[in-house]
Structure formats: C-alpha cells, structure tokens
Amino acid sequence: MAKATAIAAGNAGTGRIVDTDRPLVDEKLVLCFFIASLSYVLIAMLAGLLFSLQFLQIYPFANSEFFSPGRWRFVHTQGVAYGFIANAFLGALHWAVPRLTGNRVLSDKLSWFILFAWQAIVLATVVGVLSGEAQALEWGETPVWIDPVAQLGLILVAINFLTPILKVKGPMYVTLWYLIAAFIWTPLVYAMGNFLPEYVIGGSAAGAIGGLFIHDLVGLFVTPIGWGLMYYFVPIILKKPIWSHGLSLVGFWGLAFFYPLNGIHHFLYSPIPMFLQYGAVISTIAVELVVTTVIVNFFGTLVGRGDALRTNLSIRWFYIGMVFYFTTCLQCAFQVTLTFQKVIHFTDWVVGHAHLVMFGVFGFWILGMMTHLLPRLMKARDWYCNRWNHWHFWLSGIGLFVMFIDLMIAGLIQGFAWRDLAPWEDSLTFSTPFWKLRTLTGIAIVVGQCFFLMNVYMTWKHMRGAASTTPMPTPTGGGEPAIA
C-alpha cells in the first residue's frame, strides 16, 4: 500500500515525518465513491434511454406523473453531472491528491461525511426533480432548497483537498495547478449560477449568468479536474514524464484565462448585448488554440509508447477521450460562430455536442481511471474478465461516436428545415429516423456499462470467494508515487 515509502518520494523536500500507521489513501473510501458513481451512471443512462423513447412515441409510462419524460430528462443530466462525474472525481481525487502532496486530506472523517452527504444531495435532487420541483437553470435543475446544502458540500470538498495541496512546499506538479484552480472555481461557479439568477438578477442579464453557469460547470469544474487527473494518470501508466512542461503551462494558463469568458456563447442572437456575444465567440475560438497545445503535449508524451494504446485499456480510454476532446473543441470553434449558430442553435447538433463532451471525454476518462484502479481497490489480482472490459470500451465508443454523428446530421436537417420555414411538424418527421438510431446507440452504451458493472461485481465476488492471501502484483505503475 501507499505508505511511508510513497510519502517520502511524493513529499520530497518537506522533511515532514508522516504518521505511517494509517495508509495515506483510504482505498475503501475511493472504492465507495466509484461504486456510487457507477450506480448513478446506470440510473442516469437508463433515464436518458427512457427519455429517448418519448421521441419515438413509444414511451412506456405515458400516464404516470412520476415517470413524466421531462422530469426523467432532469434525472439524466443531473445524474450524469452530480452523480456519475462528481462522485468519480471525488474518488479519483482521494486517490491522487494524497499521493501527489504526501499529505492526507484534511480529515478522513470529513471525507466519509462528504461521501454520504453527497449521495444524500444527489438522491434528494432526483426525488426533487421527479416531484416537479426543478429550478429553471440548465445543468442546475437541483431544487432551490438543495442548492445551499450542495454549496456547503462543495466548500467542504474544497477545504478538504486544498489543505493538503497548500501544505506542499516547493514546486507543484501540473495536476495540482489544475486542482487548486478547480477547487476555487467550482464553489464560485455554483454560487454564481444557482443564486444570482434566482434571487438577485432577472431577465437578459440573468441569461448571461445562466450561460456562464452552463459553460463554467463544464469548463471550470469538470475540465480542470479531468485534465488534472489526466496529467496524473497518463505519465504514471506510461511510465514517462509529460512531454513538455512549457506546453503544460500554456495549457493551464490559457484555459484559466479564456474559459471563464466563454459562457455567453450559449445564448447568441439573444437580447444580451451583442458586443459581449462577440467577445464570447472570440474567446471560445481562443480556447480551441489552447486546447490544441494540451493535445499536442499529451500526444507528444505518447510518442514511443504507442503500443500502450493496444496493450493498456486505460490508456486507450484516455486517448480516445482526448481525440474526442479535440473534436469537441474544434466543433465548438466552428459552431460558436454566428454563421453556424443561425442553423444549429436549438437543434440536436447541440445535444450531440453535449454527449460528446460529457460522456465521450470526461466519462471515458473516468471509466479509464476506474478500469485502472478498481481491481487494486478491490484487492483483486486483475479483472474477472478482461474481454468484458473490451466489450465495455467498444460498445461505449462506437455507440457514442455513432450517436454524435447521428445527432449532428439531425441537427443540420432540423436547422435548415426551420430556416426554410417548413411546417414545424416536418422537422419532427425528418428527425424520426435519426432519433431511432439515437435510441439504438443509447442501448449500445447502456449494454456496455452493464458489461463493466457485471465485471466489477464478478471481480469483487471472485475476490471474496477466493479469500486470497497471495499478495497482489502491482499492475502497471498504479501504486507508484507521483512524479513531482
């Protein structure tokens, strides 16, 4: 386990004597976060799949208020953002931060409290939105009476992780830059998005804030933690340092400067002042340039270890996620222009884009981390069945990619039909084949996750049954101290 030896390396230079009785990382906690995350991903994806049936006029629970399709759409997005992604990040952070800093999180008890409190918040959100109490804020539909609790939770998370990070003396690794920034941004973004447009500002100005919230939740919460963890896991698994420190700097500072300026691009051609819309468009295109430097950096790191794409499933998840990230951002640089917006705004194009970002990028990275960590966390020698993990990868990957292309084309067709003043019903008729394909890709993705969940369960059951006392061989690089 990661004990004093790891600490000595990770905490080089501090000369601190660390209590070696307790392990640096509470692996059970990490496991619990991952299990919670995987439970929500199943719920959230089934909710999405269920909702997609409405588009085919075959919704099975049409007369049930509780199963109202619109409410289950809330469950889909909220479950993914706060159940799947947030839980998985919390787990991965509990794994990475102590290793990178050599310090425990502020309090183990607080961590466990956060685990249960966060599940309570997400469950309350699900119950709240299902009983029709949603807040009219995209990605922030959490009922207003949960918002303050969630806000408090985020602040506690930030304090819990910032304490060990800020204790580090001397230079900090790239991951920690991203994490420091993320822990400041996330509570600020949440407060800005959930409270200002509800209680302080109304109208078009609130639209600007809503746009900032939609964007910052992805850009300032999910993105920095996601990239931070990539900077941690990729070099460790590949056993080589990041290609260019300079590019890491450019990537971080470019993101920090340009990303917060983007939000208004969600409401182009709206009554928000036009010069701000232009500003948002330009800074969005700037983000694409920054993203390119990060992608170049990571592919530079891969040079010479390309075989890992074949041999290591985690690396494959990570790098396909990066390809999708580049695709997303490239798409974004085009779709954000006023020319594209005329056609694609309000269409399924945007839905495809959102799926590519949230699942294709961050979901894939998370699943890669889980593929890497879960056997270790369960004290298993290896996965019960590696073939199932490959099924998981390919079903998710192909499902998502086809869904993305499908929705992109559907979006163009809808956009042009509307612009050409076709009767509204035509845009529905035209979209139906694409919606059918979308449901099929959704089924593929859900089946893929089932393979993974089954594998987790079987690995766990196998371990319990075997009650193995043989020491676990270290999988590739997983338990090594962080490069610092």
Query: How many C-beta atoms surround the C-beta of residue 409 within 10 A?
Result: 16
CB of 225 to other proteins, least distance (A): 14
Q: Are 238 and 305 in contact (CB under 8 A)?
A: yes
* C-alpha span between 11 and 309 (Å, rounded): 31
Rg, Å, the chain Cα set? 22
Among 89, 118, 185, 452, binds other proteins (CB under 8 A): 185
Residues between 354 and 413 with contacts to other proteins, criterion CB under 8 A: none
Q: At what angle do helices 348-355 and 313-335 cross, to 10 degrees?
A: 150
Closer residue to other proteins, CB minimum distance, 320 or 408: 408
Query: How many C-beta atoms surround the C-beta of residue 405 within 10 A?
Result: 15
Binding-site size for other proteins (CB under 8 A) equals 88
Q: Does 184 bind other proteins (CB under 8 A)?
A: yes
Q: Does 207 bind other proteins (CB under 8 A)?
A: yes
CB of 438 to other proteins, least distance (A): 12
Q: Does 197 bind other proteins (CB under 8 A)?
A: yes
Q: Show the tokens assigned to 211.
A: 């746009």
Residues between 110 and 169 with contacts to other proteins, criterion CB under 8 A: 129, 132-138, 165-166, 168
Taking CB under 8 A as the binding criterion, the range among 112-120, 188-196, 327-335, 387-395 that sits at the site for other proteins is: 188-196
Q: Does 20 bind other proteins (CB under 8 A)?
A: no
Among 16, 28, 419, 436, binds other proteins (CB under 8 A): 419
CB of 349 to other proteins, least distance (A): 10
Q: Does 227 bind other proteins (CB under 8 A)?
A: no
Among 5, 20, 57, 474, binds other proteins (CB under 8 A): 57
Buried b (16+ CB within 10 A) or exposed e, 161-194: bbbbbeebeeebbbbbbbbbbbbebbbbbbbbbb
CB of 337 to other proteins, least distance (A): 12
CB of 354 to other proteins, least distance (A): 9
- Please provide the DSSP assignment of 358-381 as one string: IIIIIIHHHHHHHHHHHHHHTT-S
- Please provide the DSSP assignment of 121-189 as one string: HHHHHHHHHHTT---SSTT--S-TTTHHHHHHHHHHHHHHHHHHHHH--S---HHHHHHHHHHHHHHHH
Among 21, 60, 109, 171, binds other proteins (CB under 8 A): 171
CB of 151 to other proteins, least distance (A): 16
User: Any idea of the CA torsion for 447, 61, 75, 326, to the nearest 10 degrees?
Assistant: 50
CB of 447 to other proteins, least distance (A): 24
* C-alpha span between 45 and 198 (Å, rounded): 29
Q: Does 48 bind other proteins (CB under 8 A)?
A: no
* C-alpha span between 453 and 261 (Å, rounded): 39
Q: Does 60 bind other proteins (CB under 8 A)?
A: no
Closer residue to other proteins, CB minimum distance, 386 or 429: 429
Q: Does 15 bind other proteins (CB under 8 A)?
A: no
Residues between 234 and 293 with contacts to other proteins, criterion CB under 8 A: 249, 252-253, 256-257, 260-261, 263-264, 266-267, 269-273, 276, 279-280
* C-alpha span between 429 and 422 (Å, rounded): 11
Residues between 318 and 347 with contacts to other proteins, criterion CB under 8 A: 341-343, 345-347
